[in-house]
């Protein structure tokens, strides 16, 4: 039997003799199947192709867990260390003995979670490598679980992982799309780990929200306001997205960006042709 990973999104699938016909993650309107068609891979094939892990400190107690060359959607995993335990956020779709050893040197993993189904990577394999720690999945996204396993635990609304580390369900990109709030981060000013629940713009001074980023499907105003309401109670100054960071002033950036989004979706601002 083989644990298959989709070569496009790098999400692990159930242990079977033959790979699935399709990847439900990629055939959904929020993702895509390449023009070349569905393709599957395995951890052994990825290792043979030269994939490896790279771990980089981002700030005290927070580390990026990357894979090179870029794999799947290409998100960076984040290892958050706390006195009560360590959270692996959005684990990569690749795992090997060297990565396990490097993460173990930083204290290992006690809980695994992700912002939404696109960025769950090889969550179950990472869990099994660290004594089958819990993999937290928003209940609203349970239909997207590709590899069922007893380590999976469902949660709703908010969930305190450790003291000062809270998962917050925002919705938007997926019904269960979430962020992780770390109160001690950024020298006590607070940090949000957002994945693509809030996606940082190419200018690194804005964020956006979408039902589908790759297929350009927007969200309605009510969904944007629900995201704003979900994160409003939390204090934070820095934002770590799936691919980049807003180092400071992120609360104001998110507020102004989402206000702008609503303005344009409502049509409150005239376009250039009308100005």
Segment 95-147, tens digit of pLDDT: 999 999 999 999 999 999 999 999 999 999 999 999 999 999 999 999 999 99
For β-strands 245-246 and 238-241, DSSP reports them as antiparallel
Q: Is the pLDDT of residue 267 over 90?
A: no
Q: Is the pLDDT of residue 17 over 80?
A: yes
pLDDT of residue 22: 97
Segment 199-240, tens digit of pLDDT: 999 999 999 999 999 999 999 999 999 999 999 999 999 999
**Residues of the chain above pLDDT 90, percent:** 96
**Residues 191 and 181 sit within 8 Å (Cβ to Cβ):** yes
Q: Is the pLDDT of residue 25 over 60?
A: yes
Segment 27-54, tens digit of pLDDT: 999 999 999 999 999 999 999 999 999 9
Task: For residue 52, count other CB atoms closer than 10 A to its CB.
Answer: 14
pLDDT of residue 268: 85
Q: Which residue has the tokens 């099994």?
A: 128
Please state the rounded mean pLDDT for residues 172-177. 99
Give the DSSP H or E segment for 15.
strand 12-16
**Residues of the chain above pLDDT 70, percent:** 98
d(CA 176, CA 62): 24
For the entire predicted model, the pTM comes to 0.96
Q: Measure Cα distances from 86 to 11, 78, 90, 161, 163 in Å.
A: 22, 10, 13, 9, 11
Please state the rounded mean pLDDT for residues 72-99. 98
Question: What structural domains does the chain harbor?
Answer: 2-274 (3.60.15.10)
pLDDT of residue 6: 98
The string over 204-232, giving b where at least 16 C-beta atoms fall within 10 Å of a residue's C-beta and e elsewhere, is eebbbbbbebeeeeebeeebbeebbebbe
């Amino acid at each position: 039997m083989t644990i298959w990973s989709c070569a496009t999104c790098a999400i692990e699938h159930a242990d079977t003799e033959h790979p699935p016909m399709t990847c439900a993650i990629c055939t959904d309107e929020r993702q895509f199947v390449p023009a070349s068609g569905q393709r599957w891979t395995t951890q052994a094939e990825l290792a043979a192709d030269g994939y490896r892990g790279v771990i980089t400190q981002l700030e005290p107690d927070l580390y990026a867990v990357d894979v090179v060359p870029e794999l799947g959607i290409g998100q960076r995993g984040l290892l958050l260390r706390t006195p009560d335990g360590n959270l692996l956020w959005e684990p990569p779709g690749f795992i090997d003995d060297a990565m396990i050893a490097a993460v173990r040197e930083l204290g290992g993993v006690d809980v695994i979670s992700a912002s939404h189904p696109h960025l769950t990577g090889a969550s179950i394999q990472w869990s099994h490598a660290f004594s089958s720690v819990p993999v937290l999945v928003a209940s609203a996204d349970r239909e997207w679980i590709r590899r069922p396993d007893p380590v999976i635990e469902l949660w709703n609304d908010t969930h305190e992982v450790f003291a000062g580390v809270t998962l917050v369900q925002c919705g938007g990109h997926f019904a269960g799309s979430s962020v992780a709030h770390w109160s001690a981060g950024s020298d006590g000013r607070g940090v949000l780990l957002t994945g693509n629940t809030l996606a940082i713009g190419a200018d690194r001074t804005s964020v956006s929200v979408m039902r589908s980023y790759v297929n350009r499907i927007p969200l309605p105003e009510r969904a944007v306001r629900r995201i704003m309401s979900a994160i409003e109670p939390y204090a934070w100054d820095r934002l770590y997205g799936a691919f980049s960071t807003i180092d400071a002033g992120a609360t104001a950036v998110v507020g102004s960006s989402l206000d702008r989004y609503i303005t344009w979706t409502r049509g409150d601002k005239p376009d250039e042709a009308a100005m």
